[in-house]
Amino acid sequence: MNAPYLFGRFQLDPTTRQLLADGQPLALGARAFDVLLALIERRERLVTKDELLELAWPGLVVEENNLQVQISALRKLLGPQSIATIPGRGYRFTCGLDGDAASSPDKIVDVAPEAMAAAPVAVTPASQTDTKPWPVLAVAAALIFAVAGSAWLWSRREAPIDRSALKTEVAAADNKSIAVLPFTNMSEDKDAAYFADGVHEDLLTQLALIGELKVVSRTSVEEYRKTTKSARQIATELGVASLVEGSVRRSGNRVRITAQLIDARSDKHLWGNNFDRDLKDIFAIQSELATAIARALKVSLSPNDEARLARKPTENLAAYELLLRQKELKIRAINNLQTDFLEERIALLQRAVELDPKFALAWASLGAEHARASFQFLDRSAARLSLAEKAIERALQLAPDDIAVRSEAGIVLYYGRRDFARAAQYFEDLLHIAPNHVATLTVLSWLRNRQGRRLDSNALLERALAIDPRNIEAIATLVGNLAVFRHWDEARSLQRKLVELQPGDLDARCVLYMIEWQKNGSFAAYDAWRAALPAEAQRTSDQIRLMDVARAASRRDFDAVLRLFDARPNDDWDWLNPVPARAVVLLAKGERTRAFEVARSSLREASSGMQRQPDNLKWWWLSLINRAVLGEREAVLDGYRRLRARPDFGTDDNITQDIVFLEPELYALLGDREKALRTMAVLAKQPRFSSATSWRSTVSFASLWDDPRFLAIVNDPANNAPLPIVNQDPALIGK
C-alpha cells in the first residue's frame, strides 16, 4: 500500500486517490491527480511533458494544452509556485515534503539561500517519518520561500527558468561539446547575409571534423538566430557545454569577423578575438578561428587536423563566393533531398569551376548536385549521371584526401549510382576521422536503411542524437525506423519531440495522429484536431491530405476521396501509400464504366512516363494498378514479374517493400481473393512502412473489407504488435 505524501497543509493519498487540505478532501479530477502524483514521485528531477502525457493519458494522443489545463488547476489549489515550468521541456514539483531535509530529528540543518534555491528536495512517504520536528518544518518552509523568491526574479524575464535544472544539465554536458550559433551579418549590404552564413557554416564544418569535438549541426542552431535566450538556456536545450557567438562585417575588400567562446556552465568567456583584414585573408581567419577554439577547449589537434585547417580551398575569391551562394540556396531548399533551386545551384557551381578549374570542393559539390537531379528523377539520363561522375572524378584527382570532397563522393554513389555499399564505405571512412560528425552519422543511417540494416541505422541515429539532441532529420528518421517495426509508443514519443521543436509545422503534428491511427485504427484523436483546422488545410500539408483521404476511405465515403483527389496540386504524387488511383475509387463505388475510362486515360499517361523514365517506379505502379482495374490479368502479372526483375529489387529495402506490398493490391483488383488474402497473411507479420490497420483504408482492398478472412488478418493483435528491431536482407521481404 502506498503511503500518503504530506506537504504543508496538504496530503496526497495514492491509495484512496484523494488530495486533502487540512484533513478535508478537495475536488480534483482523475487526470490532475495522476499528474500531481507523477510529479511528486519524480520530485528529484524535472518531468518532461512527454512523460507526463504518457503517465496521465496512457495510450492516447492528446494535445499538450490538456496537460497545461491540469497544471493550471493544480496551481490554483496548491499555490502558483508549487509547480515550476522548465520552458519547452517540462515541469518540476517544488514544495518541500515533511521529512525532506533532516535525516535525524535532533539535527538542525542550516541552508544558505543559494543552496535552497538550487538543491533538490527528497520526497519521503509519511509512514517513513514518525515525527515531524520543528527543524524539519522550518527547513521545508525556507525552501518554499527560496523557490518562490527565485520564481519572482526569473518571472521578470520572458520565461521562467528553473536554474537548478539548468546547472545540473549543463554541468553534465561533455566538456568538448559545442554549438556554433549563427553569425550576425553586420554588413551595411543586407544582401550579403549569404557571406556571413557561409563563414558560419565553414567554421562549424571545420570544428565538426575535429575528432575530439562534439559539434551540434547547423539545422539545430538555426532556431537561435536572433534569439533572446541566455547562453545557459541555449546550451541546456542543445546539450552542450560551450557556445560560439560571432558576427561578420564586410565592406568592399575588407572583412571584420568577431567571435567569442563561452563556457555556458559559468557564463565565462573562454576566448574571443576580432579579425579585421583584407578579404583575401578569409581562409586564414577561418583557420585561426577553428584552431583557437579547439585549443581553448584543450583539444589536441593532429598533424592531419592542422594541415586540413591550414588548407585554402581556392585562390579565387569570386569562385568561393559562388560556392557560398550555392550553399545559401541549398539551405533554403524546403525538401529533404534539397532539390529546390537545383538548376540555379548547378549554374553557380559551374561558373565557380570555370573561374578556378582547380577548385576541388566546387567540383565535388557540382557532382553531388547532378546526382541529386538524377535521384529525384528530374533528369535520369545517362548524360546527367555522366556529368555527376566526371565532376566527382575531377574533384578526387585534385584533392583525394579532402574530407569534404570524399563526403560528396559518397553522395554521388548514393544518389547517382545508388551503390549503397560503396557509398557507405566512404562515410564509414569519414567516421574513423571524425566519429562525432552528425551529418555523416545521419546520412550513413539512411544508407543502412536502404540496405535493410535498421538496427545499425538506429545505433547511428542514437549516436547522432547524443551529440545533437534537437536534430530534426535524425529524430524523424528514427521515428520512421521505429514505425517499420511497429514500436508505436516509442515512435509517438519521439514524434512529440518533433512537434515541440516545430510547433507551427502541421505535417509534424499530423504524423503524430497518423502514428496513433496506425497503432489502433482510430481516427478519434485526428478528428478532434482536424476539426479545429481550416477545411483547406489539406492543400498545404501533404500529411493532412493523406490522413483526410485515409479517413474518408475507411468510412467508405468515396465521393469525399474523389474531392480530395481533385484538390491536390497537379504536380503532387501520392503513390504507393493509402491514397488510391482515381479509377480504383470509381471501381469501389460501382461505377465500372467511368472507372474503365479513367483507367485507360491513366494508362496513356503511364506509357508516356515510362518512355521518359523507364526506371521510375511510380509509372510502373500507375500502369499495373490501372491494368488491374481493367482486368488485364496476363499483362498485370507479366508487368509485375518484370518489376521484380529490377536490379534494385532485393537490394534496396525501400524499393523492395514498395514492390512486394503492391502484390496483394493487384490480386485484389483482379478479383483473385485467395491469392490476395494469402499474400496479405504473410506480409502482415513482417516489418513494413504501414500497419495492417491501414489496409482498412486502402481502396484497392475494398472488395475484401467485409471478408471474414480479411477482418481476421487486420484484427489480429499479433499483426500490429511490436517486432524485434533487426537487420534484414531486403531479398527476404515477402518470404
- 303 with 328, same domain: the answer is no
Q: What integer pLDDT is reported at residue 99 of this predicted model?
A: 61
Nearest-Å Rg of the Cα atoms of the chain is: 30
State which residues form the domain around 225. Answer: 173-312
- 638 with 687, same domain: the answer is yes
Q: What integer pLDDT is reported at residue 65 of this predicted model?
A: 63
What residues contact 235, with CB distance under 8 A and at least 6 apart? Answer: 170, 173, 179, 241, 242, 243, 264, 265
Kindly state whether residue 214 falls inside one of the protein's structural domains: yes
Distance separating alpha carbons of residues 210 and 575, to the nearest angstrom = 43
CA atoms within 13 A on the CB side of 415: 29
Closest CA to 39 of 97, 88, 83, 98: 83
Task: Give Cα separations from 427 to 21, 410, 493 (angstroms).
Answer: 62, 7, 29
Mapped onto helix, strand or coil, the DSSP state of residue 248 is strand
CB-CB contact of 688 with 722 (8 Å)? no
> Can you read off the three cell numbers belonging to residue 677?
488474402
Q: What is the largest CA-CA distance in the chain?
A: 92
Distance separating alpha carbons of residues 256 and 268, to the nearest angstrom = 23
Kindly state whether residue 554 falls inside one of the protein's structural domains: no
- 146 with 61, same domain: the answer is yes
- 302 with 341, same domain: the answer is no
Kindly state whether residue 536 falls inside one of the protein's structural domains: no
Kindly state whether residue 397 falls inside one of the protein's structural domains: yes
Q: What integer pLDDT is reported at residue 64 of this predicted model?
A: 67
Distance separating alpha carbons of residues 609 and 615, to the nearest angstrom = 10
Sheet containing strand 24-25, edge to edge, reads 5-7, 10-13, 18-21, 24-25
Which amino acid makes up residue 528? A
Distance separating alpha carbons of residues 441 and 461, to the nearest angstrom = 7
Of 136, 164, 192, the residue that ends a domain is: 164
Q: Is 645 exposed, middle or buried (0-12, 13-18, 19+ CB in 10 A)?
A: exposed
Strands 214-215 and 177-180 come out as parallel
- 370 with 436, same domain: the answer is yes
Angle between helices 342-355 and 317-332 (to 10 degrees): 170
CB-CB contact of 160 with 154 (8 Å)? yes
What residues contact 720, with CB distance under 8 A and at least 6 apart? Answer: 486, 519, 691, 692, 693
Closest CA to 59 of 484, 515, 499, 485: 515
CB-CB contact of 586 with 545 (8 Å)? no
- 144 with 22, same domain: the answer is yes
Distance separating alpha carbons of residues 472 and 459, to the nearest angstrom = 16
Distance separating alpha carbons of residues 110 and 108, to the nearest angstrom = 6
Q: What integer pLDDT is reported at residue 654 of this predicted model?
A: 92
CA atoms within 13 A on the CB side of 449: 25
Of 280, 312, 344, the residue that ends a domain is: 312
Gap between the terminal Cα atoms of the chain: 51
> Can you read off the three cell numbers belonging to residue 719?
499483426
Distance separating alpha carbons of residues 452 and 730, to the nearest angstrom = 6
CB-CB contact of 290 with 213 (8 Å)? no
Look up the CATH number of the domain holding residue 278.
3.40.50.10610
Kindly state whether residue 348 falls inside one of the protein's structural domains: yes
CB-CB contact of 70 with 32 (8 Å)? yes
Distance separating alpha carbons of residues 18 and 2, to the nearest angstrom = 12
Kindly state whether residue 44 falls inside one of the protein's structural domains: yes
Which amino acid makes up residue 191? D
CB-CB contact of 714 with 695 (8 Å)? yes
- 369 with 456, same domain: the answer is yes
- 470 with 600, same domain: the answer is no
Distance separating alpha carbons of residues 461 and 196, to the nearest angstrom = 30
Q: What integer pLDDT is reported at residue 149 of this predicted model?
A: 27
Q: What integer pLDDT is reported at residue 203 of this predicted model?
A: 93
**Dihedral sign for Cα atoms in the order 657, 660, 666, 667:** negative
- 187 with 141, same domain: the answer is no
What is the domain count for the chain?
4
Transcribe 34-75 into DSSP letters: HHHHHHHHTTTS-EEHHHHHHHHSTT----HHHHHHHHHHHH
CB-CB contact of 12 with 4 (8 Å)? yes
Kindly state whether residue 540 falls inside one of the protein's structural domains: no
- 327 with 476, same domain: the answer is yes
CB-CB contact of 43 with 93 (8 Å)? yes
Distance separating alpha carbons of residues 6 and 96, to the nearest angstrom = 9
Distance separating alpha carbons of residues 629 and 423, to the nearest angstrom = 40
Mapped onto helix, strand or coil, the DSSP state of residue 277 is strand
What residues contact 540, with CB distance under 8 A and at least 6 apart? Answer: 506
Predicted TM-score (pTM) of the model is 0.75
Task: Give Cα separations from 302 to 297, 306, 308, 410, 452 (angstroms).
Answer: 15, 6, 10, 24, 36
- 340 with 286, same domain: the answer is no
Distance separating alpha carbons of residues 595 and 603, to the nearest angstrom = 12
What residues contact 156, with CB distance under 8 A and at least 6 apart? Answer: none
Strands 177-180 and 242-251 come out as parallel
Look up the CATH number of the domain holding residue 474.
1.25.40.10
Kind and range of the H or E run holding 6: strand 5-7
Q: What integer pLDDT is reported at residue 88 of this predicted model?
A: 60
Closest CA to 209 of 100, 108, 304: 304
Q: What integer pLDDT is reported at residue 85 of this predicted model?
A: 76
Q: Is 128 exposed, middle or buried (0-12, 13-18, 19+ CB in 10 A)?
A: exposed
Q: What integer pLDDT is reported at residue 283 of this predicted model?
A: 92
* Cell numbers 521541456: residue: 89
Instruction: Measure the CA dihedral 223/228/229/230, to 10°.
Output: 130
Kindly state whether residue 514 falls inside one of the protein's structural domains: no
Kind and range of the H or E run holding 201: helix 193-208
**Dihedral sign for Cα atoms in the order 406, 412, 415, 417:** negative
Backbone angles phi, psi at 275, to 5 degrees: -120, 115
Of 164, 188, 222, the residue that ends a domain is: 164
Sheet containing strand 90-93, edge to edge, reads 47-48, 90-93, 83-86
Task: Give Cα separations from 281 to 199, 317, 615 (angstroms).
Answer: 12, 10, 48
Task: Give Cα separations from 310 to 231, 284, 288, 366 (angstroms).
Answer: 30, 7, 8, 24
- 584 with 719, same domain: the answer is yes
Q: Please, what is the Cα angle at 508 between 505 and 513, to 5 degrees?
A: 130
* Cell numbers 493544480: residue: 74
pLDDT along the chain (735 residues), means of 10: 80 87 81 89 83 81 70 78 73 76 32 29 34 27 26 26 37 81 87 87 93 92 88 92 93 91 88 91 92 92 91 94 92 67 94 98 97 87 94 97 95 96 96 94 96 96 94 94 94 94 89 93 93 83 88 95 76 42 92 95 89 87 94 97 94 93 96 96 90 91 97 95 93 84
Distance separating alpha carbons of residues 213 and 211, to the nearest angstrom = 6
Closest CA to 436 of 391, 467, 403: 467
Distance separating alpha carbons of residues 373 and 595, to the nearest angstrom = 35
Distance separating alpha carbons of residues 35 and 205, to the nearest angstrom = 43
